Amino acid sequence: MKRFVSLLLFFFFIVALLYPRIEVKYFRKLENDSIATLLKQRKDLFSKHYSSILLESKLDRFVCYSDSTLLDRFPIDSQAYCLIVNPNTRILNFRFLKQNTELAFPLPIALERNASYEMSLEEVEQVAAKSLQSPNVTVHSQPEGATVYLNSKMVGVTPLSIYQQPGKYVWKLKLSGYLNESGMVTLSETELKQLTVHLKPNSATVLVNTTPEKGAQVFVDGKKTGKITPCTLEKLTVGSHLIEVRKFMYENESKKIKLSSGETQALMIEMNPDFADVTVNTQPHSSIYINDYFKSNGYWKGRLKPGTYKFQAFNDAVADSETVKLQPAQQLNLVLRPTNLKGALKVTSNPNQAIVKIDGKSVCQTPALLETMRVGKYHVELSILGYAPYSELVTVFPNKTTVLNAKLFNGRSVNVTSLPSGANIYIDGVYKGKTPFKGKMIYGGHTVRIEKAGVESERLVFLPPAGGETNFQFKVNQIFRNFTDTASNCTFDMVALRGGVFQMGSESGESAEKPVHTVSINSFYISTTEVTQELWVSVMGENPSTFIGSKRLPVENITWDRAQQFIIALNKLTGKKYRFPTEAEWEYAASTAPNGNTQTIWAGVNDDFSLSDYAWFDVNSRKKTHQVGTKLPNVNGLYDMSGNVSEWCSDWYDTYPNYPVYNPVGAIIGMYKVSRGGSWYRTARNCRVYFRDLNSPSSKSDNIGLRLVMSQ
Q: What is the CATH number of the domain that holds 542?
A: 3.90.1580.10
The number of domains in the chain is 7
The low-confidence residues of the chain, meaning pLDDT below 50, are 1-18, 36, 40, 43-47, 127-131
| Of 400, 403, 363, nearest in space to 381 by CA | 363
DSSP for 387-398? B--EEEEEEEPT
Same domain, 323 and 368: no
- Burial code (b: 16+ CB inside 10 Å, e: under 16) for 124-152 equals eeeeeeeeeeeebbebebeeeebbbbbee
Task: Return phi, psi of residue 66, to 5°.
Answer: -135, 170
Same domain, 684 and 608: yes
Same domain, 634 and 504: yes
Q: In sequence order, what are the residues at sequence separation of 6 or more whose Cβ sits closer than 8 angstroms to the Cβ of residue 33?
A: 39, 115, 116
Same domain, 389 and 323: no
- Calpha distance 245→672 (Å, rounded): 43
- Calpha distance 54→288 (Å, rounded): 69
Q: In sequence order, what are the residues at sequence separation of 6 or more whose Cβ sits closer than 8 angstroms to the Cβ of residue 331?
A: 276, 277
| Residue 175 domain flag | yes
- Calpha distance 211→215 (Å, rounded): 10
| Residue 2 domain flag | no
Same domain, 522 and 665: yes
Domain C-terminal end among 440, 475, 510:
475
CA geometry: angle 85, 118, 150, nearest 5 deg? 110
| Of 632, 629, 577, nearest in space to 605 by CA | 632
DSSP for 28-67? EE-SS-TTHHHHHHHHHHHSS--EEEEEEES--SEEEEET
| Residue 1 domain flag | no
Q: How confident is the model at residue 183, as a pLDDT? A: 92
Same domain, 291 and 432: no
Task: Return phi, psi of residue 519, to 5°.
Answer: -130, 135
| Residue 502 domain flag | yes
Q: How confident is the model at residue 110, as a pLDDT? A: 80
Domain C-terminal end among 317, 336, 355:
336
Same domain, 261 and 282: no
Domain C-terminal end among 475, 505, 528:
475
Q: In sequence order, what are the residues at sequence separation of 6 or more whose Cβ sits closer than 8 angstroms to the Cβ of residue 156?
A: 106, 139, 147, 148, 162
Q: Identify whether the C-beta of residue 286 lies closer than 8 Å to the C-beta of residue 227.
A: no
Q: Identify whether the C-beta of residue 642 lies closer than 8 Å to the C-beta of residue 604.
A: yes
> How many CB atoms sit inside 10 A of residue 683's CB?
14
Same domain, 265 and 298: no
Same domain, 635 and 669: yes
Dihedral over Cα of 495, 499, 505, 508: its sign: negative
Q: Containing domain of residue 280, as a range?
A: 276-336
Q: How confident is the model at residue 9, as a pLDDT? A: 42
Q: How confident is the model at residue 231, as a pLDDT? A: 94
Same domain, 44 and 112: yes
Residue 355: CATH number of its domain? 2.60.40.10
| Of 360, 355, 353, 314, nearest in space to 337 by CA | 314
| Of 548, 506, 530, nearest in space to 648 by CA | 530
Same domain, 467 and 587: no
Q: At what angle do helices 560-574 and 533-540 cross, to 10 degrees?
A: 70
Same domain, 451 and 557: no
> How many CB atoms sit inside 10 A of residue 81's CB?
16
